[in-house]
């Protein structure tokens, strides 16, 4: 258990924007909400999953819908509490903790606002280990936890409970309800036991987000380049160290809306060590694939993050513009995100890249990872060298 301060939330906002891999919504609004909730209600503690009793009840909280609407119609503050209470009534017992379902973007902060108001601790882990666009894209789903019964609540007191055939139908119905609630709403889904959380969650992602934010803020002081500091910040986590994929400037951005998603690509022209090289980053809200001079060098679910080359803050898909100096880094996703079942939900193929096989960053950049080391469970990737 550690107490989360408003300063931690500032760092988390910086780190979660990076873990948003281009999407996830700007954490700023969520951060200010959480800070006000903590000022008014008192501190929130962050607990390690190992501190959870197996029989404990975890009710994850999140915002769902359009971040562009949320920056205008800011929440009331008690939506998530009403959703939590409704879920508790349905399940006939009290929640012991809440957690994020998504550690990238604005949803890294929402559980802290909810936890302060509902007097619950937040568990340090989530179901995506990054940002993804849909509710079934959760390790919870992949490893057998039901997303329902779920609750969607708005600022005026409307509370909609959802039972569904499966987690895909939950996504479909909850999305529709969210639109009728004015574009965004608060959500409780994947109610689960402490044992299930420990078994299925991507662990330590909130404290890692805070660490990344601290690395960005403190890099200059410690004489490190901020991009280097971001890469180093995940070294001792289940992710392992980040790797610089490319450094360059944005020369073209193409973006269009398809079924509510911002789909397109950005082209980067190399600078410094990457002079004469080109990088293409394809995205659907989040960055999915990075292709350097025609060769795929990173793909979903590994994290592809575009950072401001000087400050190492996240450059989101919405804010990509010609001329920006950006550094693309890859952060290897944890093993729990890479099982065959998991890749069926969010591997390259799930996003329409039919002929693209996922290859872990550790394998593609084996030399780099042999030098810096990888978490124990990832050592297997170092022995199989990439195709010539």
223 binds other proteins (CB under 8 A): no
Residues 6+ apart with CB under 8 A from 297: 245, 290, 291, 330, 364
Please, which residue, 64 or 305, has the CB nearer to other proteins?
64
Residue choice 183, 270, 373, 375 for contact with other proteins (CB under 8 A) = 183
Range 118-177, binding other proteins (CB under 8 A): 133, 155-157, 175
Residue choice 22, 65, 127, 347 for contact with other proteins (CB under 8 A) = 65
From 29-37, 51-59, 144-152, 191-199, span contacting other proteins (CB under 8 A): 29-37
Residue choice 12, 37, 56, 281 for contact with other proteins (CB under 8 A) = 37
Residue choice 7, 68, 339, 384 for contact with other proteins (CB under 8 A) = 68
Q: Whole-number minimum distance, CB 324 to other proteins, in Å?
A: 8
Range 316-335, binding other proteins (CB under 8 A): 318-319, 321-325
Q: Whole-number minimum distance, CB 73 to other proteins, in Å?
A: 5
236: burial class by Cβ within 10 Å (0-12, 13-18, 19+)? Answer: middle
Can you read off the two tokens belonging to residue 119?
């007097």
Q: What is the DSSP string of 14-65?
A: HHHHHHTTT-S--HHHHHHHHHHHHHHH--EEEE-GGGS-TT-EE--EEEEE
Please, which residue, 138 or 155, has the CB nearer to other proteins?
155
Count of residues in contact with other proteins, rule CB under 8 A: 45
Residue 122: in which H helix or E strand, if any? strand 122-123
DSSP 214: H
Instruction: Beginning with the edge strand found earlier in the chain, give each strand of the sheet holding 243-258 in spatial order.
Output: 295-299, 286-292, 278-284, 261-270, 243-258, 325-331, 303-308
- What's the CA gap between 278 and 60, in Å, rounded? 41
Residue choice 4, 17, 18, 29 for contact with other proteins (CB under 8 A) = 29
Give the length of the chain: 388
Q: What is the DSSP string of 274-320?
A: GTT-EEEEEEESEEEEEEETTEEEEETTSEEEEEETTT--B--GGG-
- What's the CA gap between 300 and 113, in Å, rounded? 30
Residues 6+ apart with CB under 8 A from 236: none
Residue choice 261, 265, 270, 308 for contact with other proteins (CB under 8 A) = 261
Q: Whole-number minimum distance, CB 84 to other proteins, in Å?
A: 15
Cβ–Cβ under 8 Å, residues 180 and 79: no
Residue choice 54, 89, 93, 251 for contact with other proteins (CB under 8 A) = 251
Cβ–Cβ under 8 Å, residues 124 and 2: no
Quick note: the x/- pattern for other proteins over 263-302, rule CB under 8 A, is ------x---------------x-----------------
76 binds other proteins (CB under 8 A): yes
The angle at the Cα of 127, spanning 123 to 128, to the nearest 5 degrees, equals 125
Q: Whole-number minimum distance, CB 32 to other proteins, in Å?
A: 5
Q: Whole-number minimum distance, CB 42 to other proteins, in Å?
A: 16
32 binds other proteins (CB under 8 A): yes
- What's the CA gap between 296 and 24, in Å, rounded? 24
Q: Whole-number minimum distance, CB 27 to other proteins, in Å?
A: 13
368 binds other proteins (CB under 8 A): no
From 34-42, 119-127, 300-308, 367-375, span contacting other proteins (CB under 8 A): 34-42
Q: Whole-number minimum distance, CB 309 to other proteins, in Å?
A: 11
5 binds other proteins (CB under 8 A): no
Range 347-366, binding other proteins (CB under 8 A): none
Footprint of other proteins (CB under 8 A): 29, 32-33, 35-37, 65-69, 71-77, 113, 133, 155-157, 175, 179, 182-183, 249, 251-252, 256-257, 259-262, 269, 285, 318-319, 321-325
């Amino acid at each position: 258990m550690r107490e989360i301060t408003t300063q931690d939330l500032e760092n988390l906002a910086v780190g979660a924007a990076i873990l948003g891999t281009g999407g996830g919504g700007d954490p700023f609004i969520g951060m200010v909400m959480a800070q006000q909730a903590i000022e008014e209600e008192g501190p929130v503690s962050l607990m390690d999953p190992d501190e959870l009793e197996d029989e404990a009840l975890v009710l994850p909280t999140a915002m769902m819908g359009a971040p562009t609407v949320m920056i205008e119609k800011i929440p009331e503050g008690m939506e998530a509490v009403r959703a939590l209470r409704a879920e508790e009534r349905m399940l006939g017992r009290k929640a012991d903790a809440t957690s994020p379902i998504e550690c990238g973007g604005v949803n890294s902060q929402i559980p802290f606002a909810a936890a302060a108001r509902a007097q619950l601790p937040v568990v340090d882990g989530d179901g995506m280990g990054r940002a993804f666009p849909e509710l079934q894209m959760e390790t919870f789903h992949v490893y057998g936890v039901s997303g329902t019964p779920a609750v969607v609540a708005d600022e005026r007191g409307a509370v909609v409970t959802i039972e569904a055939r499966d987690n895909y139908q939950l996504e479909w119905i909850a999305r529709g309800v969210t639109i009728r609630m004015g574009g965004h709403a608060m959500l409780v889904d994947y109610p689960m036991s402490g044992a299930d959380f420990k078994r299925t969650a991507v662990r330590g992602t909130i404290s890692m987000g805070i660490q990344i934010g601290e690395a960005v803020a403190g890099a200059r002081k410690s004489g490190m380049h901020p991009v280097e500091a971001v890469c180093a910040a995940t070294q001792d986590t289940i992710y392992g160290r980040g790797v610089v994929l490319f450094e360059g400037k944005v020369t073209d951005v193409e973006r269009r809306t398809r079924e509510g998603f911002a789909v397109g690509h950005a082209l980067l022209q190399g600078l410094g060590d990457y002079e004469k090289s080109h990088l293409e980053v394809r995205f659907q809200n989040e960055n999915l694939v990075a292709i350097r001079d025609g060769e795929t060098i990173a793909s979903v679910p590994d994290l592809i993050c575009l950072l401001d080359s000087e400050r190492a803050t996240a450059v989101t898909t919405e804010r990509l513009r010609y001329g920006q100096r950006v550094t693309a880094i890859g952060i290897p996703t944890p093993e729990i995100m890479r099982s065959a079942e998991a890749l069926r939900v969010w591997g390259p193929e799930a996003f329409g890249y039919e002929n693209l096989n996922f290859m872990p960053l550790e394998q593609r950049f084996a030399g780099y990872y042999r030098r810096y080391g990888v978490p124990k469970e990832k050592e297997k990737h170092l022995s199989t060298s990439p195709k010539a």
